Amino acid sequence: MVLLPVASQLEASCLINQLVQEQTREPSRNPFLRKKRCALSEPSLVQTVQQIPGVGKVKAPLLLQKFPTIQQLSNASVQELEEVVGPAVAQQIHSFFAGPH
């Protein structure tokens, strides 16, 4: 338990008000707090995307930043994929999902 010395009831009420505001403040309002980077999905999802032909440890996280789910990745057009991985790998990924199941 922390004791905070105050000189008067007015100072105590101001201190309590300040503590309440500090605890309920939205983090986004503080310009000094760094924004969190997008956390990558589960490691198992990254490993799954790495199994797609042409995708490795470098391209898998890039793809998951733009297409956070396998469904979004599988529904992406070749043009959308090209923006992330280039034309050759984009075609490989598109063929992988469009192939016979």
**Domain span holding position 69:** 43-98
Question: Could you tell me if residue 67 is inside a domain?
Answer: yes
Residue 59 placed within a domain: yes
Secondary structure (3-state) at 89:
helix
pLDDT of residue 101: 57
Q: Model confidence over 36-90: pLDDT tens digits?
A: 544 555 778 888 899 989 998 999 999 999 998 888 999 999 999 999 999 999 9
CATH number at residue 64: 1.10.150.20
Three-class HEC string of 49-75: HHCCCCCCCCHHHHHHHHCCCHHHHHH
Q: How many domains does the chain have?
A: 1
Residue 56 maps to a domain: yes
- Structural domain contains residue 65: yes
Residue 2 lies in a domain: no
Task: Identify the pLDDT of residue 76.
Answer: 92
> What pLDDT is attached to residue 42?
72
Answer whether residue 6 is part of any domain.
no
> Is 64 a member of any domain?
yes
